[in-house]
Every structure is written in structure tokens, then in C-alpha cells.
A and B are shown apart, each in its own frame.
Chain A
Amino acid sequence: MKLSLTKVVNGCRLGKIKNLGKTGDHTMDIPGCLLYTKTGSAPHLTHHTLHNIHGVPAMAQLTLSSLAEHHEVLTEYKEGVGKFIGMPESLLYCSLHDPVSPCPAGYVTNKSVSVWSVAGRVEMTVSKFMAIQKALQPDWFQCLSDGEVSCKEATSIKRVRKSVDRSLLFLDNCLRLQEESETLALSSRLECSGAISTQRSLLLLGSSDSPTSASRVTGTTGACCHTRLIFVFLVEMGFHSVGQAGLELLTSSDPPASASCWDYRHEPPCLVLQKSVIIGVIEGGDVMEERLRSARETAKRPVGGFLLDGFQGNPTTLEARLRLLSSVTAELPEDKPRLISGVSRPDEVLECIERGVDLFESFFPYQVTERGCALTFSFDYQPNPEETLLQQNGTQEEIKCMDQIKKIETTGCNQEITSFEINLKEKKYQEDFNPLVRGCSCYCCKNHTRAYIHHLLVTNELLAGVLLMMHNFEHYFGFFHYIREALKSDKLAQLKELIHRQAS
């Protein structure tokens, strides 16, 4: 995979990540978000209703907390979690935890990390963790890490230091296990395919060496490896010349985009699949020194990207951590993506983008859905004047009603209604025959009214969740599209101001 930046303005990175996926032909835009899922499915949505949504991200987020308990099933299934969940075309990122459910603290040891599933606690050592990932076969996965520091208040510096040490140790162990299993898998496949005679030998070459003649070269290189391991097998039968392109690849400094330049017509296709990419996790709590250490050390490892962990919380806690965030991203290489966990609100998203973050989780629209609300915040920083007037009047009215902050307890999300949304349960929507958001092109807004959604919520009907989720996801993905547009045309300040005005 390859990250290329179009521009960097005020700390915001605009660009694309190319050559993603098993076949290397997917692309992702940054800044961007990942599709939030629960047990491998977008909440409330089937394939049909998910595909009603415009702008669904190329990459979906799976959570180990919902999938770890299905390890055995997936191992037997063999074909990976993407196919299992019915999303074979989607890029997949596997995080440890579900950003919506809080993780109870006290379950990380030097040897294991626990995730919490419906069935209970699943404890994972490094080897179990890697075995699960092998069964899942995601495109990216968050490395096993100690993120407990963010679950608690006032953590000792000793504990913070331990979280960094442990996470690095987990990372090194996971990387090692990954390479070992690859070597094993590679040679055993070749053996099974009968391509290797008794005279096979395994040579490890550096990038400056060239292979001997009459050899068939096959190689797999992980994305962004510091040392490329190239396996050369001397094959008794069936010699194929490498060709000029192949030789160039061995000496080039870029990892090969795909295996297309290899003469692999007679090789089992599995040999040239790209492996799952490990995302290194930056820990360190609120201690600057530890954060920097974590960033620097993690960056030394051959990871595919970075997850900024421990920034989740509420808007006030994030504000306090923004300086930390800037300092951390400054330590990270430019050409690898930066993800952040637990941050999904529109205003927080913008703050983090300005501090070098590329990818976000999309659980905020889900939380909004669960409390019976619809996202209505404006992100069109260049609307036509008439619309602006209408929206503004609407917004002012909403703010007046928002004098008291209401707490809603829904399915364990003890969240407050934000000013980015309207509460469809309110009586005033009973006879409101407007769509949720005028001008919205989502299925819900094109086919239904606020009055109908209100009725569904009052009567506790399942369709309420379906329609709200479709709208909220589309609205949220639209927001990210506008962020990228704003960066392209240097209008981020306007967008930021617009969002800021609407954040209560």
C-alpha cells in the first residue's frame, strides 16, 4: 500500500492511500472514516439497506470484541471474515475494542489482553491473538496493546510507562509471529504444490543482490518493510526466467504494488497474496514523555500505520490532550496512515485532522441513532444564501431549546444529545412532514418524513433504527466528503467555523 499526500495545510493531511486490499486495487481517501460495524454488520442494516447509502467508506471497522468468540468458526471457515460477513469487496480493519462500549479496566497483563464480548471475557495472549487474526484475515488490524490507561482517571506514571513497554513488547512479538508463520506457510504451500524438489534451498537476499539464472523467483513483501525478505527457490523442474521487470523489483526501493510482474502462471495464487497489515498502537496516557517514546519506538517497527489510542473521552478531555496529539503525530512518518480511536464527533474530528490524524471511526452516527435522533448539522460551507437563512433560523431555534442538556440512557450509551442532531421523539415532530434534512439525498429523506420517524419511535418499531441509521451514516459520510473538498479548495477555516457555531 502507498500513502500519497496531495497537500498538507495547517497540519491537515489531504491525500490517498492506494494499492489496498488482497488484490491491491482499492483506494481510500484521507481524511476519511471507517464504516462502523457490530459483529461484522453495519448496525440495523442488511446488504440492501447499506447499499442505499451514498458514500459508504471503502474500509469497514470490525471489532475483536464482537468476533473473537467466533474464532473457531472462522478458522474452520478458512475464507476469512470478509467473506463470512458478506462483505468480500470491502477493506477491513480490525480494532481490539468496540469504541461504543467502555472497556472495564484491570484485565491487561504482561502476557495477555482481554476483550469483552457478548459471551463474556476473551483473554488473548500474543499467540492466540495472532491465531485469531490469521482466521480473520483482515486487511489491517490493531496490534495487541495495553490501552487501559485511558479507562481510568489519574494513572500513575509507572502504570503509563508500563502501558508503553507492554504495547511495544506485544508489537514485537506479533511481528515476529507474523513473519514466522509466513515463512512456514510459504514453504509448506510450495511443498504441497510439488514445485519444490529435494534440492530446494532457501536464500535470503538483500535488496542489492540479484538472483542466479534459471531460477523462478517468487516473493512476497509486506507493505513498508524495512528489510525485504525474498525467498528464492531453486526448482528442479519448470524453470522460468524472471525477466527484467522482476530483477528491477528486487533492487527497487518501493515495495511491489502487486504480483503482476512475476511470472506466476504456474504458481499457486495464494503465494502472492498480501498479508494483513499490523497497525502499531501509540500509548502513553497523558504523559508527554511517554507519548513521545511510544511514538518514536513504534515508528521504528515495520508497521503499516499507527493507531492513536487513549484520546477517547468527552470533548473537554480531548481538548486537554490536543497538544499531546500534535506532538505525537510530529514523531510519526508522513507516509503511513494515522488512525485515532474513540473520537467521532464532528468538532473533535476537525481538531484531530488539524493535528495530523487521517482516519476516524464512524460510531457517532450510530450513537445518534440509538437515542432516536437524526444528524442535522450543516457542513456545506458554501450553501446558497436562501438555504443559509433557513438553516440558521432552524439552528437558532434548536439552540434555544437546548438550554437544558438532556441525558439519554439508551442501550448503555449514557450520552447527551448534541447540538448536531434533532430528537425525533419530541412531540413537535408529530406533524412535521418535512424530511429529516431538506436537500439530503439519503433513502430516508427521499422517502419519509419526520412525522413518520416520530411515529415509528413512539410505537417502538424496528424500522426507526433502520431509517435513522441510513440517514445518519449518509450525513456523516457527506461531512467527510466536505472536509476533503474544503481542504482541496483551502476553505477549511470556513468549515471549521460553521461546525464550531453548531457545537453547543
Chain B
Amino acid sequence: MAGAATQASLESAPRIMRLVAECSRSRARAGELWLPHGTVATPVFMPVGTQATMKGITTEQLDALGCRICLGNTYHLGLRPGPELIQKANGLHGFMNWPHNLLTDSGGFQMVSLVSLSEVTEEGVRFRSPYDGNETLLSPEKSVQIQNALDSSYSPVSAFQAAGNTGSDIIMQLDDVVSSTVTGPRVEEAMYRSIRWLDRCIAAHQRPDKQNLFAIIQGGLDADLRATCLEEMTKRDVPGFAIGGLSGGESKSQFWRMVALSTSRLPKDKPRYLMGVGYATDLVVCVALGCDMFDCVFPTRTARFGSALVPTGNLQLRKKVFEKDFGPIDPECTCPTCQKHSRAFLHALLHSDNTAALHHLTVHNIAYQLQLMSAVRTSIVEKRFPDFVRDFMGAMYGDPTLCPTWATDALASVGITLG
């Protein structure tokens, strides 16, 4: 029930997005996010550094790749090392020594991914810690409180300087997340509860001037529920909106329709963050549908399994076929891995117990994602995004017409035809 929730809505929430260019055919936009720790060009892919680290690569390496915003996770950091310690460490920026922007997720998704350890009520999500069996209640207030505490007086100039302002630059509301494969009344319950929890998060938010609280649109795969959620949440004057509850086990056909529905009802002058999307094809299509921000563990996780991302898909470098392949992963790629190393060497290193192999691939895969987004953006600015999409699909699938049906349909819905 969408009650008339007491709205402690933000009056004139900061407009953090500036549109630079728009595709005249599709809904694609190029823009800039103006955040406390610097400007971020959009569309943007945000690598995920869950526990205050981008896995095996240093913040210097991440910076050198051109990354200007990445993710941390409230649930994980809330458990270890905990918000008090992070606050003492000059906030999350200071703790991990990251001078650019941070976005922290609320812990909502963990309700789905760690469902056996969680229980949802109106109060919040009760988690049982897998480490010590202790129970914690993650309420909207608690989630915002933790994310506020990840704040600091940290300046990007040096790790130990206590000056300046802000913590994680974008924080997410706690939402009631159900897996996209769930049907029935639970979906509706979760959608309405997410609206109520949004209001509670807004009310609890102590630092609206320094941390941007984003709402998360829910409603599962039900168009009506989603529409209701969009209508209600857009009444709240938050600086940005995320599209949640997707990129689970749903079919791609349902997926894109929900994304398209969402972007059609979200304000143009605020960023649209599609959560959990990271496959190259999905990124390109969803940019066409009007999304600006993306995050996903896929590129960094797949790297640690020996898989390198390339314009034609991916290379599983552990395979014997690469044993004597003396070229780089991608001759067009400018990342340090491709500048210095061959597929053959990486193959050999992957079969050793030296973790350096994983780091080489993590660097490359992040570079791949960032270079892809950069190319997408340039094509939008230069008014040739539809051609870019055709070329991209051609490289990925051999021929633009061979791209998956869902993608063809999605692109067609916004005026881009392939082949």
C-alpha cells in the first residue's frame, strides 16, 4: 500500500548531473556527474571493490586506468572492519586510500545473495553473520547510518591528511529486494516497502549536503508494479535513481523491457544507475535505453578465473590454445597488461601459483570496461552512437544481425536497427 508516507523529502536536492550530449535516435546520453571527489564522465562503468579493496590491484593502478568511481559494500564493511573503525581511519576514502569517488551499496542485494542468512520484516533485514553467528539488524536507518559513518574528513591529497569533507559520494537506500524469479504478492510487498524505506532513509540521512542518496526502483518484472514504484519514488527529490531488482535470473526479454519502462519514467536531468549490469552487450544496449551508470562484479571476478574480455567476447587464457600465442590479449588495448605481456606468458603464469596472473587480468578487464564506456561516450558526443552500436555488435557476434534477439528488440524499441 502506497500510504501517504511522511515525506521528509529533500527540497531541491543537488542536481549532480550535467548532460553533454544526447543521441537523436535512441535514449543514449553523455554527461558528467559532479561529485564531491571529482567529476565523472557518463556513461560510466563502476568496478566493484566490495571490502575496501579492488581485489589484487592497488588504488594507484586503478587510478592509472582512469577509474574515477568505484563501489564499496555496506553489509560487508559493516561487519568487517565495522563503521567505527573506518571512521577512525579517516573514512572509507582514507581507509583504502582512494582519492576519487565512492558509491556504497546499502546491503539490500545481500538479502538476495545471502538469502539463507537473512530474514526481512518491516523493521529491516536481520542477518546472521557467517563469521561469528552474530545477528545484526540492517534497518533503513542503520544502513544510512553506516554509510554516513563511512564518511570522514578526508582530503584526496594524501592518505593521512584530515581536511576536506565527505565520505562515500553516493549512498544507496536500503531496499527490500526480491529475486527477479520470484512471483506473487511478495514482489508487491517488497515494492511498497522499498518506498517506505526510501522515506526512512531520507529522514535518517545526516549528510545530504555531502553524500548523495539514491533511490532504488523496484517492482520486479511486473510492469504495473514498476510503474507505481516509479511514480511514487520520483516524487521524492533525491539526486539520482537506481533501477534495481533486475540482472538476476530473469530472461533478457523481460529484463530490457523493465529497463526501458524505468528510463521512460525517470527524470532526464538526474542520473539513472542500472545495478548489477556488466556484460558488454548489456552495457551498450542499456546505454541506448537511457542508463548512465553501471556496476558489476563480472569483469573482475571473471579475471580471477583466467578469463580476459575482448571485443569478440572473452578468452579463457588457461586453455591450451593460448600456450604459444605470443600476441597480447588485445592489440588495440592500451592497458599495462597488453603493453607488456603475451597471451602465452599469461597462460603459463595462470598455471602457476603466482597470484600476479590474476592481477594482470584484473587490470586488463577493468581497462576493457572503462575503454568500452569511453568509446560509447565519444560516439554519443560525436553523434554516431547508432553506428557505434552496429560496429560493436558486428565485432561481438560476427555480424550485427547475429546479435541476440532480445538486444535487437531492445535497440529497435529506441530506434536503432542492426544490419
Residues of A near any B CB (own CB < 8 A): 38-49, 52, 66, 70, 73, 76-77, 84-86, 118-119, 411, 430-431, 433, 443, 446-449, 451-452, 455-456, 458-459, 461-463, 465-467
Choose from B96, B337, B342 the contact partner of A46 (Cβ within 8 Å): B337
Contacting chain A: which of B100-108, B143-151, B343-351, B403-411? B343-351
Task: Please tell me if the beta carbons of A430 and B341 are within 8 angstroms of each other in the complex.
Answer: no
Contact A118 B80 (CB under 8 A): no
Whole-angstrom distance between the Cβ of B154 and the nearest chain A Cβ: 13
B242 within 8 A of partner (CB): no
Q: Which residue from A39, A49, A451, A458 sits with its C-beta under 8 Å from B348? A: A39
Are B354 and A38 touching (Cβ within 8 A)? yes
B81 touches A430 (CB 8 A): yes
In the complex, given contacts A47-B336, A465-B355, what are 17 additional A-B residue pairs having Cβ atoms less than 8 angstroms apart? Answer: A41-B354, A44-B355, A46-B359, A48-B61, A48-B336, A49-B58, A49-B359, A118-B351, A433-B88, A443-B60, A447-B60, A452-B52, A458-B81, A463-B56, A465-B56, A466-B56, A466-B359
- Residues from chain B with a CB closer than 8 A to the CB of A43 are 354-356
Report A-chain residues with C-beta under 8 Å of the C-beta of B337. Answer: 46
A77 touches B344 (CB 8 A): yes
One of A66, A443, A465 near B352 (C-beta < 8 A): A66
A-B contacts, 8 listed (Cβ < 8 Å):
A38-B353, A39-B352, A44-B355, A48-B336, A49-B61, A446-B159, A447-B159, A466-B359
Residue B180, interface by CB 8 Å: no
- Cβ 8 A contact of B58, one of A77, A85, A459, A463: A463
B254 at the interface (CB under 8 A from A): no
Which residues from B are CB-within-8-Å of A77?
Answer: 324, 326, 344
Give the chain A neighbours of B351 by CB distance below 8 A.
118-119
CA distance A46 to B55 in the complex (A): 14
B61-110 at interface with A (beta carbon < 8 Å):
61, 64, 76, 80-81, 85, 88-89, 95-97
Q: Are B61 and A455 in contact (CB under 8 A)?
A: no
A75, closest chain B residue (CB): B324
Residues of A within 8 A of B96 (CB): 452
B59 at the interface (CB under 8 A from A): yes
Q: Given that A46-B336, A77-B326, A463-B53 are known contacts, is A431 also in contact with B356, CB under 8 Å in the complex?
A: no
Q: What's the nearest-Cβ distance from chain A to residue B145, in Å?
A: 20
Say if the beta carbon of B340 comes within 8 Å of chain A.
Answer: yes
Q: Least Cβ distance of B94 to chain A in Å?
A: 9
Q: Which of A47, A431, A446, A463 contacts B55 (CB 8 A)?
A: A463
Take A73-B324, A431-B88, A462-B56 as given contacts and tell me if A39 and B159 are in contact as well, using a CB distance cutoff of 8 Å.
no
Among B344, B355, B356, B357, point to the contact of A84 (Cβ < 8 A). B344
Closest chain A residue to B348 by CB distance? A70
B57 at the interface (CB under 8 A from A): yes
* CB of B51 closer than 8 Å to a CB of A: yes
A73-B356 in contact (CB<8A): no
Counting CB contacts under 8 A, is B293 at the interface?
no
Task: Evaluate whether A44 and B348 lie within 8 angstroms (CB atoms) in the complex, with A433-B88, A461-B55 already known.
Answer: no
B345 touches A85 (CB 8 A): yes
Given contacts A46-B360, A48-B61, A452-B96, contact A430 B349 (CB under 8 A): no
Is B323 engaged at the interface, CB distance under 8 Å to the other chain? yes
B363 at the binding interface (Cβ < 8 Å): yes
A42 with B324: CB separation less than 8 A = no
Select from chain A the residue with minimum beta-carbon distance to B359.
A46
- Checking B56, B59, B61, B323 against A44 with a beta-carbon cut-off of 8 angstroms, the contacting residue is B56
Cβ contacts under 8 Å, A42 to chain B: 356
Closest 10 CB pairs of A and B: A462-B56, A39-B352, A38-B354, A463-B53, A41-B356, A86-B340, A455-B81, A459-B51, A447-B97, A461-B53
Closest residue to A455 on the B side, CB-wise?
B81
Let me know if A431 and B85 touch, CB within 8 A.
yes
Contact A455 B88 (CB under 8 A): no
In angstroms, Cα B77 to Cα A19, docked, is 53
**Chain B residues within 8 Å of A, Cβ to Cβ:** 51-61, 64, 76, 80-81, 85, 88-89, 95-97, 159, 323-324, 326, 336-337, 340-342, 344-345, 348-349, 351-360, 363
Q: Is the pair B89, A461 in contact by a Cβ cutoff of 8 Å?
A: no
Q: Which residue of B lies closest to A45 (CB)?
A: B356
Chain A residue with Cβ nearest B342: A84
Shortest A365–chain B CB gap in Å is: 15
Residues A46 and B354 in contact, CB atoms below 8 Å apart: no
Closest to B96 in A: A452
Q: Contacting B89 at CB < 8 Å: which of A38, A52, A76, A451?
A: A451
Which among B51, B64, B345 is the interface contact of A86 at CB below 8 angstroms? Answer: B345
Does B349 lie within 8 Å of A447, measured CB to CB? no
Cβ–Cβ < 8 Å partners of A456 in chain B: 53
Chain A residues, CB < 8 A from B353: 38, 118, 411
Tell whether, in the assembled complex, residue A46 and residue B363 are in contact, meaning their CB atoms are under 8 Å apart: yes
- Write out the residue numbers on chain B whose beta carbons fall within 8 Å of the beta carbon of A86: 340-341, 345
Report the separation of the CA atoms of residues A421 and B76 in the bound assembly, to the nearest whole angstrom.
Answer: 30
- Is A47 in contact with B340, judged by CB distance below 8 angstroms? yes
**A272 to B356 alpha-carbon distance, docked (Å):** 35
**Which residues of A have CB within 8 Å of B54?**
463
Contact of A39 among B55, B81, B354 (CB under 8 A): B354
Q: Contact check, B88 vs A466: say whether CB atoms are below 8 A apart.
A: no
- If A41-B349, A66-B352 touch, does A447 touch B56 (CB 8 Å cutoff)? no
A52 to B359, CA, bound (A): 15
Docked complex Cα distance between A361 and B88 (Å): 40
How far, in Å, is B93 (CB) from chain A's closest CB?
12
Establish whether residues A73 and B89, one from each chain, have CB atoms under 8 Å apart when the complex forms: no
User: Please, how many angstroms separate the alpha-carbon atoms of A284 and B342 in the complex?
Assistant: 42
CA–CA, A42 and B352, complex, Å: 12
Q: Flag if B60 contacts A52 (CB, 8 Å).
A: yes
Contacts of A455 in B (CB 8 A): 51-52, 80-81, 95
Q: Considering the complex, give the chain B residue whose CB is closest to the CB of A464.
A: B53
**Residues in A neighbouring B85, C-beta threshold 8 A:** 430-431, 451
Chain B's nearest CB lies how many Å from the CB of A249? 38
Shortest Cβ distance from residue B416 to the other chain A in the assembled complex, whole angstroms: 38
Give Cα A467 to B359, complex, Å. Answer: 13
A77-B341 Cα distance, complex, nearest whole Å: 13
A433 to B89, CA, bound (A): 7
A49 to B341 Cα, complex, angstroms? 15
CB distance from A261 to the nearest CB of B (A): 35
Complex CA gap A52/B60 in Å reads 10
Name the B residues within 8 Å of A451 (CB-CB).
Answer: 81, 85, 89, 95
Cα distance A46–B356 in the bound complex, in angstroms: 6
| Chain B residue at smallest Cβ distance from A465 | B355
B114 CB → nearest A CB, Å: 16
Q: How far is the CA of A456 from the CA of B54 in the complex (A)?
A: 11
**Least CB distance, B345 to chain A, in whole angstroms:** 6
A448 to B323, CA, bound (A): 38
Separation of A461 and B51 alpha carbons in the complex (Å): 8
* Interchain CA distance A47-B357 in the complex, whole Å: 11
Given the known interface contacts A463-B55, A463-B56, the answer about A38 and B95 at a Cβ–Cβ threshold of 8 Å is: no
Most buried by A among B52, B53, B349, B356: B356
**Chain B nearest CB, measured from A188 CB (Å):** 24
**Complex: A86 Cα to B341 Cα, angstroms:** 6
Give chain A nearest CB distance to B157 CB in angstroms: 12
Q: A452: which of B89, B341, B357 is its contact (CB, 8 Å)? A: B89
Nearest-CB residue, chain B, relative to A119: B351
| Complex-state Cα separation, A118 to B337, whole angstroms | 24
Across-interface contacts of A467 in B (CB, < 8 A):
58
**Whole-angstrom distance between the alpha carbons of A159 and B352 in the complex?**
34
Inter-chain contacts of A458 with B (CB < 8 A): 80-81
Chain B residues positioned under 8 Å from A431 (CB to CB) = 85, 88
Are B51 and A448 within 8 A (Cβ)? Answer: no
Cβ–Cβ < 8 Å partners of A118 in chain B:
351-353
Find the B residue at minimum CB distance from A451.
B89
Shortest C-beta distance, A92 to chain B (Å), equals: 15
Min CB–CB distance B331 → chain A (angstroms) = 16
Chain A residues in 8 Å Cβ range of B95: 451-452, 455
